[in-house]
Amino acid sequence: MHAHFKDWTLSTDKKGLKGLDGRHYSPALIGEGIVDHKSAGYGGYINLEYEGNKYNPREAMAKGLKTLQDIMLEI
């Protein structure tokens, strides 16, 4: 089993993906969104992803990996 490790922000303009709660979400870099990864309690493989366009792919992965490493040290 593995998880797609993503983060999201609430979209106020109703763009992005519609969640089961009826609100809209846009992709965010790990650590810049609203997902509380620490409390999720997952202990398997992680597939780091970023689907936004705020950062170029190389910069996004470097920032995301650093944040992921920091989160993993805390749990």
Could you read off the pLDDT of 4-51 as tens digits, one per residue?
A: 778 899 998 888 899 999 999 998 988 888 888 677 776 777 777 787
Residue tagged 């749990």 (tokens): 75
For residue 38, the model assigns a pLDDT of 72
CA distance 17 to 22: 10
Nearest to 69 by CA among 31, 42, 40: 31
* Beta-carbon contacts of residue 67 (< 8 Å; ≥ 6 apart): 29, 30, 31
What is the residue extent of each domain of the chain? 2-74
For residue 10, the model assigns a pLDDT of 94
Other residues' Cβ atoms within 10 Å of the Cβ of residue 34: 10
